[in-house]
Chain A
């Protein structure tokens, strides 16, 4: 009885279920018919309407690029600013027949073949751009002509843009750098959204390093446009935030002076204030006017890295053996490790030989320097003396001492693509050359030759430490940047200040003073004016190896590219330094003949003409 009741309940429930299921399916199918009806309405009846809408569907997003920050020198002289520029541009996404547009423009203002070619090349190269410029720098008449045919073509327009100008041309070209067209390489690490409507980006120098600050924040508009692509009204708008201006530590007068001294040479020179690391002048020669480059063609990244190119920045990327300019540091190391002391004299003959070896390591002076102490060895730049010191120190001590002066590492300047050079060590050689380190390697490393490679910036950094007697200044170009010394630098600074005695620092200082101010100093003849108490050290770097028994050839017989590099580091006044300079002139001859006079002129000019303006 009970069971049949339950059966009844179940059968009843199933009946209800079937009933309800049917109701539900009916309701849902009605919804499906509603959908079909609606779709028929949208897609069939109103197709034309929506088709037009989709064709002309533009609530356009227009970005306005911000005004790029201006770059000044330390005295508010403009080094880079923006000038208005009117250009005819074509929106390649909106225009239907680009060829026809170009023909029409040509009729009005006659385009050159190069301009047309450039347009198509850019169109292929910069796929992310909507607008591509067909003719730049329009005159008022040309603007009027373009505007008169604008209504005939979708996407043709005249735009005002800001063009970067560099009033000091090649004089500041390496340090300020320049902007250039955004290319594929830039796109890899770029916030594309920020640069939609921007053509230029900092490519080199300060323009590159401070791109984020200089660029600003783009503004935007949501614009409603009609079927022909004409803007009807702004729906939403936010104006661009201009980029920040940057003030460099450079003094343009000194910079101009330095440029005049270096032009004609291949080389570079850096002047730095040792008290705060401010670079007051920095020149790499040859250089090229960046204003031309912006117009005519673009620089390939590879071009920048080519050694003989005017785009190659020797101050941070040129790599040279430091040569004899390293000797004060070797002397310091020898004194610190007590392998020499300030009083001992040593016979520095024409050559040095390792025990039981036949090879002669020659001095630059044919008959040597005779009996020398450490001071005299620096003043006269005795190679043999420093072969001896290096030999006693061994490469490990020598190499780790060099490291304190930034060799083999970055100086931390606010500048892009700094090279770190090569600091040779036993480990470095086995890793990079594959051979075992030899005692002979140690000797030539002790006179700054061999595998040892430094940048002029590293030289000025090291010279600054010597001038400051152990206090490190991190070089900087933006006057408002406050470079922080990291733990490593602080550790080194503590070591140099506390572990090296002030007698040793004074000895080196005195020796370098006498290099310039004592008659037998290697740089004595490099300056007539002795009143600024310049201290310095010359360096002459052999580009080719003289075979050891050969006598030195006459300078005139050597082809240019094998001539010696001329190096010099100097600072003044020697007791309370205010300026440090490092100069490298390539393939020209000895340090005392070229780099030293140039550097000392820079130092004197700075102390006589510039310094006073600071106060």
Chain B
């Protein structure tokens, strides 16, 4: 009884943390869009929808979710298929699918669906050991959607999704020799990839990371401006709505990929510490849920979601401060955009569902 109570309280706290971060996100977005209330209110509606989605998923039993998993995977693959052939373009890539009047980026949701499917596949058999047959089948599950996304073409997202899948495999006890096999084969493929598959603009992004000054107005521009924004924020920041980099529109993609730079410029190092603290509160709740998860499926899935959630935050920030190339990863709960928000809240819903299943 006592234990149940404490679970309810931690769930409630988690919910409150999510609400707070969402509100912070709206405020930063307001600044990043030059006080465009129109965009902010549209994002609020999306948030509201996502909260409803999260709450409805949270009331589905985790074992039921497990049974649905393969079907969800198949539907996602179909949607990806439609995206490739009937999707619409944005900046030279076909990433968006129009669904009931909403533009939707299917690859975003895969960041959660793929680990979920792998967790399902690796937990159905009684024997939890991953033999070569299981490994091969898992790789098929991973690479099937990735092939579609590469076709779009969206290399950054493909890589992120690959890593999401590998995280689940890793957590499920992938054998050390298999790990080294995968790492070695990826390392061998990489140069071939560079030579034959990377488009010039993708190469440029990686090269400018090494030396952004070489092309200050082209692809290095994003990195330089973002670094200036972050650095000039200083310890206390320039204050809300006072970021010159963002308000004067030096900073590109302020609402989406580089929202962290807007935050860093206006709230400074101190603000970032507080932001990361808020994120870590959510992450600690996730870790608690993972450690206490009852079923093997729930454990791997929650572990994967926890790790992926951290990974997305880390990747986005590393991008904004010029350590990783610009790969188009959004900052969870802060970046503008419906698809990423939807997949994050889908994950939140699953976490709550897993947390509920621990109560007796």
Contact = CB atoms under 8 A, between A and B. Distances in A.
Interface in A366-410: none
A53 B303 contact: no
B173 A16 contact: yes
A238 interface: no
State which size class the interface on A falls in: 35 or more
B173 A13 contact: yes
A145 interface: no
Contacts of A36: 273, 276
Interface string A37-63: 011101110110111011101010000
A9 interface: yes
A546 interface: no
A17 B303 contact: yes
A43 B264 contact: yes
B269 A35 contact: no
Interface string A1-17: 00000100110111011
A353 B41 CA distance: 70
B172 interface: yes
Given A21-B171, A31-B314, A47 B235 contact: yes
B128 A24 contact: no
Nearest to B313: A32
B231 A235 contact: no
B231 A13 contact: no
A237 to B, nearest CB: 12
Most interface-central of A9, A34, A35 (chain B CB within 10 A):
A35
Given A9-B127, A31-B318, A35-B314, A21 B290 contact: yes
Prevailing SS type, chain B contact patch:
helix
A235 B228 contact: no
A213 B323 CA distance: 48
A212 to B, nearest CB: 27
Interface centre among B264, B287, B303 (most CB of A within 10 A): B303
B29 interface: no
Contact of B269 (A21, A34, A44, A55): A44
A39 B321 contact: yes
A429 interface: no
Nearest to B303: A21
Contacts of B173: 13, 16-17, 20
B335 to A, nearest CB: 17
Contacts of A6: 126-127
Contacts, number: 118
Given A28-B310, A28-B311, A35-B314, A50 B228 contact: yes
A50 B235 CA distance: 12
Contact of A54 (B167, B244, B323): B244
Nearest to A3: B126
Given A17-B171, A39-B321, A43-B269, A28 B314 contact: yes
A34 B172 CA distance: 27
Interface string B275-296: 0100000000001001100001
A28 B230 contact: no
A343 interface: no
Given A10-B296, A28-B307, A59 B217 contact: yes
Contacts of B290: 21
Contacts of A28: 307, 310-311, 314
B234 interface: yes
B314 A43 contact: no
Contacts of B231: 42-43, 46-47, 49-51, 53-54
A25 interface: yes
Interface string B124-136: 0011110000000
A121 interface: no
A551 interface: no
A250 B128 CA distance: 92
Contacts of A9: 126-129
Interface of A: 6, 9-10, 12-14, 16-18, 20-21, 24-25, 28, 31-32, 34-36, 38-40, 42-44, 46-47, 49-51, 53-55, 57, 59, 222, 235-236
Given A38-B323, A39-B230, 14 more contacts: A9-B126, A13-B296, A14-B296, A21-B171, A24-B307, A32-B276, A32-B314, A34-B318, A35-B314, A43-B230, A44-B269, A47-B234, A50-B232, A57-B250
9 contacts: A9-B126, A13-B172, A17-B171, A20-B173, A28-B307, A50-B232, A53-B232, A235-B216, A235-B217
Minimum-distance CB pairs A-B, first 7: A50-B231, A54-B232, A13-B128, A16-B173, A42-B231, A47-B234, A43-B269
